[in-house]
Amino acid sequence: MPEQAPVVLITGAARRIGACIARRLHQHNFRIVIHYQHSADAANTLCQELNERRADSACAIRANLSDIDAVKQLATASIARWHRLDALVNNASSFYPTPLPTANEAQWHDLMGSNLRGPFFLCQATASELTQRHGAIVNIADIYARQPLDAHSIYCIAKAGNIMLTRAMAQELAPQVRVNGIAPGVILWPEKTTQKTPGKNTDKTQQSLVEKIPLNRMGNPEDIALLAEFLITNASYITGQTIAVDGGKQLV
């Protein structure tokens, strides 16, 4: 691995969209810092996969993004691994319903922590290194940041803040660092029922949602990864933008 190969930190990179972004940027000759919190097995498996393709090109670091000290340690460890950091992708996200009658403070702190507070303080902790490298930040928002999803008020509020985070950081870190966002639409279905997420993800509900999309189909994690790659490597005159990847969902 060349000493000058760029390095990207991707939060929530062990699985799903985050892992797809990691693989895509790895193909673009980035070295990858795979952040995870709970998905240790998946993170280590992905790390091994990438290192088998190209030696010493990936590492995995655990951190709780709701813990500001842990966020700062994540930034420090990520930079120290290869003595540089060229890009940051704030992808990690908690997502589950919080109906107003039952929403509580713990849910507020959890959803704000992963979707807004953690990304803000990770931007802060990496800003000096990214400025030095003339780097880029990509924040993964959501189309529901602009049009609220029923019974998900806290999540939507946090993602709306994430879009403003992109705009504010773009202004504050210019001209050295470009900061953009991606707002996915229907890309992957939420995972099956957990203790936090009552199960309403039925086949009938899914089909109904897809039928309302002008392109009449779901997207793919690769759609998000391709845009993330473009925003990091090619979009030299784009900053402060959050681009919807939703098949036209916001048109209806």
| Residues annotated as catalytic (active site), given as ranges | 155
Burial group, residue 162, by CB count within 10 angstroms (0-12, 13-18, 19+): buried
SS3 category, 249 = helix
The region, left, alpha or beta by phi > 0 then psi within -120 to 50, assigned to residue 45 is: alpha
What are the E-state strand segments in the chain?
7-10, 31-36, 58-62, 87-90, 136-140, 178-184, 242-245
Distance CA 9, CA 86 (A): 8
Q: What angle do CA 38, 18, 98 make, to 5 degrees?
A: 65
Count CB atoms within 10 A of the CB of residue 5: 15
For the chain, counts of helices (H) and of strands (E): 8, 7
**What tokens does 186 get?**
């229907």
**What tokens does 237 get?**
């005159």
Q: Bridge-partner residues for 34, per DSSP?
A: 10, 60
